[in-house]
Amino acid sequence: MTAFPERRLRRLRATPALRRLVAETDLAPRHLVLPVFVKEGIEVAQPIATMPGVHQHPLADLPAVVEEAAAAGVGGVMLFGVPAVRDAVGSGATDPDGILNRAIAVAAEAAAGRLTVQADLCLDEFTDHGHCGVLAADGSVDNDATLEVYARMAVAQADAGADILGLSGMMDGQVRAVRAALDAVGHSRVAILAYAAKYASAFYGPFRDAVESTLDGDRRTYQLDPANGREGVQEALVDADEGADVVMVKPAGPYLDVLARVADVSPVPVWAYQVSGEYAMIEHAAAAGLIDRDRAVVETLLGIRRAGAETILTYWAVEVAQRLRAGEVRA
């Protein structure tokens, strides 16, 4: 390698055309998936105070939300349900008339194959205690009893027309249990997105408002310790072994190292979830006049792609896809 003055690294940065030519990472609408909150029993969309610009939608809004996302070219929508009633075992999750299952059917019809319909497969929105699984007599989250409920929830979501099921509960064996349940009833085409390396994170705070979480306590007995990188890689490999079609790292920004390590070794596609707290930080900092919002948004997404995510779940999915299409953001 030559050194300065023959080597001048600024040479390729000199003009927009040169920079565009040598950019290693790009962003396209298909790389983005929009999370959508659907709430039972409301008539008009409700703003979520902790997430400026994000709403809880009534079921009736969903066709328009899906239409806008499809028109923007995003890769999919990830649906979350906010039920009117919750109970100890999360019955609303397995009921075909439950809000999430109804939302899947409505979204699938509206999407008409133009984008993928994905659904959160977890009990926390449906249980009155707010945990991601059912509880044992001693109050702990019962892994194996939860798998049985996830299996039924998966079949209900597949029956409703979901393309991809997002397993976010962090129970051991959940991918295997869901794959077996789906295949047993002929849903072998439905794909599994495993939230493989999901950390016990403070950055889910705004989301818990969005789904009106009832959780008292934390999820540290099932979500990963933020201190552990190797364990995140192991989770991804185990989930791929169990049959996950895609593995995900979550949150994204604070775990780019884990994302890069998973991307290095994963035999399946690797996605990342830019979570509610990552969204809220930028929106609130921008509202306070502290940061150039539009540039910051794209910079975080590029960083997540650069670290190794092929697809990103982000609350900015439609907005950024529209800006990409309008040529305001370099693709």
Enumerate the active-site residues.
198, 250
Shortest Å, Cβ 93 to ligand PBG:
10
Shortest Å, Cβ 122 to ligand PBG:
4
The DSSP result for 46-95, as a single string, is EE-TTSTT-EEE-GGGHHHHHHHHHHHT-SEEEEEEE-S--BTT-HHHH-
Options 207, 255, 271, 316; binder of ligand PBG; rule CB under 6 A: 207
Q: Whose Cβ is closer to ligand PBG: residue 87's or residue 109's?
A: 87
Which of these ranges, 57-65, 116-124, 225-233, 241-249, lies near ligand PBG under the rule CB under 6 A?
116-124
- Residues 137 to 176: which contact ligand PBG by CB under 6 A? 168
Residue 235 interacts with ligand PBG (CB under 6 A): yes or no: no
Residue 271 interacts with ligand PBG (CB under 6 A): yes or no: no
Residue 316 interacts with ligand PBG (CB under 6 A): yes or no: no
Q: Whose Cβ is closer to ligand PBG: residue 71's or residue 319's?
A: 319
Exposed/middle/buried for 245, CB within 10 Å: 0-12, 13-18, 19+?
middle
CA separation, residue 150 to residues 133, 143, 174, 272, 324 (Å):
9, 10, 7, 22, 37
Q: What is the dihedral of CA 290, 292, 296, 298, to 10 degrees?
A: 160
CB count within 10 Å of CB 294 equals 16
Options 79, 100, 108, 122; binder of ligand PBG; rule CB under 6 A: 122
Structure tokens at 104: 């899947």
Among candidates 81, 73, 78, which has minimal Cα distance to 33?
Answer: 78
Options 61, 120, 142, 239; binder of ligand PBG; rule CB under 6 A: 120
Q: Which residues of 81-98 are buried (b: 16+ CB within 10 A; e: fewer)?
A: bbbeebeebbbbbbbeeb
Binding residues for ligand PBG, rule CB under 6 A, total 9
Q: Whose Cβ is closer to ligand PBG: residue 150's or residue 204's?
A: 204
CA separation, residue 80 to residues 93, 157, 169, 289, 310 (Å):
11, 12, 13, 31, 22
Options 50, 143, 276, 311; binder of ligand PBG; rule CB under 6 A: 276
Which of these ranges, 7-15, 117-125, 149-157, 173-181, lies near ligand PBG under the rule CB under 6 A?
117-125
Shortest Å, Cβ 207 to ligand PBG:
3
Shortest Å, Cβ 327 to ligand PBG:
29
Which of these ranges, 25-33, 65-73, 102-110, 120-128, lies near ligand PBG under the rule CB under 6 A?
120-128
Residue 124 interacts with ligand PBG (CB under 6 A): yes or no: yes
How many residues does this entry show for the chain? 331
Angle at 101 (CA atoms; ends 37, 212), nearest 5 degrees:
35
Give me the residues that bind ligand PBG (CB under 6 A), please. Answer: 120, 122, 124, 168, 204, 207, 219, 275-276
